[in-house]
């Protein structure tokens, strides 16, 4: 085929394809998916696959996305991370005499939410102690919009200290004692210890100072100022606040919320596109190519060879794929890679196409031009690849597109059963985690709905393209 001919036939093809609305929609979706897959490192972060299997420290677990606030009456605080740039340094090593130095910084938090952050974590305070036996001292205080002031914590500061306000017993004590002065004594009578151990520390810190603050805290909106003071007692002690990190653990997180490991589901969703597309497309292309080569060869050889190849085909076709895949997956559990899955799916996926290709090739084989080629002394390979295959290729493209959804769904099913590549970020695996952590009965919709929609979207994209291709390339179907 010459270049001009190819260009011409492509032009014809595009003219026909343009009229298939579903096909165009499919192409648009495909472009979107490919873009997402390619741009994944830029849309999210480039190191997602490496850190995917670990717990994401500091992130809230099982929280809905930020935009969930638009649909709820109770506004939930989003996740926020403050760094050196967000804090106001008020004292940098002021000498208080006697070798004592004073450092202090402040940060503001505007609480517009009905449920405040889950926790307040302060970490990475760069402290170098000259003498490990005399640690520095840290005092954390909050100034509330109503003028009240709570001293949350006064504790030792050593290298590597992390302060999780909501989880520290000392803070709980301080906050409880502070709140008790406003609480109606009748509310806590006889239940002091229970209330103290079960109250949500953060909710009380951000609550209106009124009776009921302990048993049913009402949110107090406004600007809160947190002050952190550090005292060092040795001349050699060094404090460096450049790396400081203050995490206000959210009740909502990002575009898609988080799962039980605190992982950003949006990142998983974006990166999952890659696996889905790569597995789907490579399985489809490989199995169609193998199937067509097999079918055409079988038809061309004829006789007992054809018979034998057909028997082999039937044998493979009658193997129930999923149970066998599950069995193999369980046997290699933990060592399955994406390419193993591709290989297995191709192994079971070529048979149907081989059958159709064979019957098409049987017709083509009888054409006079094949006979002419034979008479001219063309070899088997040349006839198959030069004369028969090009006739079947248009059909092949449609079948390729139509066999992607099956591959995508099977891959997702295997991952959902926990048999996928454990190191890859896949949608099926996100849903597997959701299922094993009872996400459905806990109502974690943000964890269940998006990955499945994504799987369906990929499948639908290729169904649309496949059906449109089929209509254009196999005109006999057009009357239907």
Partner 1 sequence: MGYGRYLAIRLLNALLVLALVTLLVSILFTKVAEEDLKSSIQEQINMKLRANPELMKQLSADPERFQEWYQNEYNRLIGAYELDKPFWVRVLERTKDTLTLNFGNTKTPIFGETNVKKIIAAAIPRTVLLFTTAQIIVILIGLLLGVKAAQVAGSALDRAVSIIAMLTSSIPMWWFGMIAILVFSFKLGWFPSGGMTSTPPKEGFAYYTDILYHMVLPVGTIVFVLFGGWAWTTRNIMIGTMQEDFIMAARAKGVPERKVIYGHALRAAAPPIITMTIFSLLGSLGGAIITEGVFNWPGMGRLYWTALQQNETRLLMGVTFVTVALYLISMILADLAYGYLDPRVKVGASQRT
Min CB(397)–partner 1 separation in Å: 18
Min CB(203)–partner 1 separation in Å: 25
Min CB(305)–partner 1 separation in Å: 14
CB nearer to partner 1: give 158 or 449: 449
Min CB(346)–partner 1 separation in Å: 17
CB nearer to partner 1: give 367 or 440: 440
Taking alpha carbons only, the member of 11, 26, 2 closest to residue 470 is 26
Whole-number Cα distances in Å, 5 to 12, 356, 384, 389, 394? 10, 27, 21, 17, 15
CB nearer to partner 1: give 78 or 280: 280
CB nearer to partner 1: give 285 or 457: 457
CB nearer to partner 1: give 153 or 383: 383
CB nearer to partner 1: give 27 or 289: 27
Interacting residues toward partner 1 by CB under 8 A: 22, 302, 311, 314-315, 318-324, 326-328, 330-331, 359, 362, 366, 405, 409, 412-413, 416-419, 431, 434-436, 439-443, 445, 448-449, 451-452, 455-457, 459-460, 463-464, 467, 480
Taking alpha carbons only, the member of 168, 75, 156 closest to residue 120 is 168
CB nearer to partner 1: give 37 or 362: 362
Min CB(314)–partner 1 separation in Å: 6
Min CB(331)–partner 1 separation in Å: 6
**Strand-pair partners of 228:** 105, 140
CB nearer to partner 1: give 315 or 385: 315
Min CB(463)–partner 1 separation in Å: 5
The tokens for 376 are 């001219």
CB nearer to partner 1: give 10 or 327: 327
Min CB(311)–partner 1 separation in Å: 7
Min CB(310)–partner 1 separation in Å: 9
CB nearer to partner 1: give 113 or 446: 446
Min CB(69)–partner 1 separation in Å: 18
User: What number of other Cβ atoms are within 10 A of residue 220's Cβ?
Assistant: 19
Q: How many CA atoms lie within 13 Å of 170's alpha carbon, on the beta-carbon side?
A: 13
Min CB(308)–partner 1 separation in Å: 12
CB nearer to partner 1: give 319 or 372: 319
């Amino acid at each position: 085929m010459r270049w001009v001919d190819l260009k011409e036939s492509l032009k014809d093809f595009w003219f026909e394809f343009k009229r298939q609305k579903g096909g165009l929609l499919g192409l648009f979706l495909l472009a979107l998916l490919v873009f997402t897959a390619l741009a994944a490192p830029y849309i999210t972060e480039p190191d997602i696959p490496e850190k995917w299997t670990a717990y994401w420290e500091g992130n809230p677990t099982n929280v809905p996305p930020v935009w969930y606030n638009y649909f709820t009456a109770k506004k939930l605080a989003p996740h926020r991370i403050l760094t050196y740039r967000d804090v106001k340094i008020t004292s940098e090593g002021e000498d208080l005499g006697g070798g004592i130095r004073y450092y202090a910084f402040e940060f503001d938090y505007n609480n517009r939410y009905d449920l405040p952050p889950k926790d307040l974590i302060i970490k990475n305070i760069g402290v170098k102690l000259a003498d490990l036996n005399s640690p520095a001292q840290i005092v954390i205080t909050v100034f509330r919009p109503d003028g009240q002031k709570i001293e949350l914590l006064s504790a030792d500061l050593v290298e590597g200290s992390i302060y999780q306000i909501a989880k520290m017993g000392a803070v709980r004590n301080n906050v409880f004692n502070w709140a008790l002065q406003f609480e109606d004594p009748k509310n806590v009578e006889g239940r002091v210890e229970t209330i103290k151990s079960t109250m949500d520390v953060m909710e009380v810190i951000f609550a209106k100072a009124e009776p009921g603050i302990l048993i049913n805290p009402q949110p107090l909106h406004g600007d809160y100022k947190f002050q952190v003071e550090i005292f060092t007692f040795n001349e050699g002690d060094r404090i460096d606040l450049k790396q400081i990190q203050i995490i206000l653990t959210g009740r909502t997180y990002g575009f898609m919320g988080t799962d039980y490991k605190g992982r950003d589901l949006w990142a998983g969703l974006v990166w999952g596109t890659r696996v889905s597309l790569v597995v789907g497309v490579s399985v489809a292309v490989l199995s169609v190519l193998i199937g067509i080569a097999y079918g055409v060869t079988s038809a061309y050889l004829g006789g007992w060879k054809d018979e034998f190849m057909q028997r082999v085909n039937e044998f493979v076709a009658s193997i129930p794929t999923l149970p066998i895949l599950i069995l193999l997956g369980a046997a290699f559990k933990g060592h399955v890679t994406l390419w193993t899955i591709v290989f297995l799916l191709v192994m079971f996926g070529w048979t149907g196409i081989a059958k159709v290709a064979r019957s098409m090739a049987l017709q083509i084989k009888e054409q006079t031009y094949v006979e002419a080629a034979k008479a001219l002394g063309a070899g088997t390979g040349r006839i198959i690849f030069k004369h028969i295959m090009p006739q079947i290729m248009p059909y092949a493209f449609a079948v390729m597109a139509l066999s992607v959804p099956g591959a995508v769904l099977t891959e997702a099913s295997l991952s959902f059963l926990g048999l996928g590549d454990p190191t890859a970020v896949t949608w099926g695996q996100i849903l597997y985690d959701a299922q094993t952590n009872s996400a459905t009965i806990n109502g974690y919709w943000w964890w269940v709905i998006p990955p499945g929609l994504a799987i369906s979207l990929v499948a639908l994209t290729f169904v649309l393209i496949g059906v449109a291709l089929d209509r254009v390339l196999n005109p006999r179907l057009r009357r239907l």
